[in-house]
Amino acid sequence: MNSEVWSGVAQGILTTVQMTVFGFALGAVLGLPVMLLRTASIWPVRWVGRGFIELVRGVPMVVWLFLIYNGPTQFDPSLGTVFSSWRSGVAALGLVSSAYMAEIYRGALKGVNGGQWEASKALGMNRLDTATRVIAPQVTRVAVPAATTYGIALIKDSSLVSTIGVFEITYYATTASSTSSSATPFLIAGVYYMALTIPAAWAARQLDRKLRRKVVR
């Protein structure tokens, strides 16, 4: 394989990592209020959260990419400088991630015994202390495996941002393939994606073991 192709496709590795990290971080933050809406005791609020999750997850990622990238410029062309391909990519990844992370948080919260709220209250702890010092650590431990699995999937989903002109791994592979009429650049891209996902999976397992040891103590 031509070393130029390897180095050419490798130019997109940093952007792929950046898109994934920023998109996941945005989704992890936005997922919290969405989860609170989804689990609210007031049913209209709860249905707003559920409606948001179903809407976001029901529309393909590539559609969200084009809606965010091209949508605002339909009303004001000058917004193209604000909704650049890079920012639009992060926004789309973050939007979709928020819906999935909200469900991950909700599932993890359901996995925590509800009786701990009453037990903490009996010990004189207020709800804020209970939430941050008792419930949150357990939710985090339960959510880590699912969140990590989604994060790894997001690395691969980030390849879709190439459709709006973000210079990441798939973009460079597509460019190299179009000039050489060969599938080799995509094979190389697959190797790079594996080089990103395998260490991420290993690190996630180590983190999960560490959190489990803390619980045992």
Predicted confidence band at 213 (pLDDT cuts at 50, 70, 90)?
A: low
Q: Closest Cα to residue 71, out of 26, 60, 63, 167? A: 63
The mean pLDDT of 97-115, rounded to a whole number, is 87
Average pLDDT over the chain reads 88
**Percent above pLDDT 90 for the chain:** 59
Domain membership of residue 213 (yes or no) is: no
Given a cut of 50, whether residue 135 has pLDDT beyond it is: yes
Q: Contact 172/12 with Cβ under 8 angstroms?
A: yes
Domain membership of residue 27 (yes or no) is: yes
Structure-block tokens of residue 131: 């939430």
Domain membership of residue 104 (yes or no) is: yes
Of 118-127, 169-178, 200-209, where does mean pLDDT reach its minimum? 118-127
Provide the pLDDT for residue 1.
55
pTM: 0.88
The mean pLDDT of 22-42, rounded to a whole number, is 94
Measured CA to CA, the distance from residue 154 to residue 150 in angstroms comes to 6
Distances (CA, A) of 196 to 13, 92, 140, 190: 9, 21, 23, 10
The mean pLDDT of 15-37, rounded to a whole number, is 96
Given a cut of 60, whether residue 216 has pLDDT beyond it is: no
Q: What domain count does the chain have?
A: 1
Domain membership of residue 35 (yes or no) is: yes
The mean pLDDT of 126-146, rounded to a whole number, is 78
Output the domain CATH number for residue 155. 1.10.3720.10
